[in-house]
Amino acid sequence: QAKKRCDQKLLIRMKTKCVPCSLNLDTQCPAGYTKITNGTGTPDCRYYLEIKTHTLSFPGCRHRCVKEFEQPECCQGHWGPDCMGK
């Protein structure tokens, strides 16, 4: 029995908002995403504070998140909603 379905696994990556590193410990990924950084996350961004007439920029941290997503696909030579076509 040849396989009819060849689902593609897609990895969707995203980063959380840049915040002060000390506040980033509790940052959660959006629903359905898995956090792949730990602790305070990655210190690779800057966040901004507006103070009266000035905008100051500070080094901050953010977390990386991934979500696995199965995209249904038929194997080569098959087609249709249930991949039965040849």
- pLDDT tens digits for 2-47? 688 999 999 999 999 999 999 999 999 999 999 999 999 999 999 9
Q: Evaluate whether residue 40 is within a structural domain.
A: yes
Integer angstrom CA distances of residue 39 from 21, 44, 63: 9, 14, 9
Predicted local confidence at residue 84, as pLDDT = 86
Pairwise CA distance, residues 46 & 51, whole Å: 16
Short-list 66, 54, 58, CA closest to 19: 58
Predicted local confidence at residue 6, as pLDDT = 93
Q: Evaluate whether residue 85 is within a structural domain.
A: no
Residue 49 token pair: 């504070």
Short-list 27, 25, 29, 28, CA closest to 12: 29
Please state the domain count of the chain.
1
Tell me the whole-structure pTM to 2 decimals: 0.73
Q: Evaluate whether residue 20 is within a structural domain.
A: yes
Domain of 25, in residue numbers: 13-67
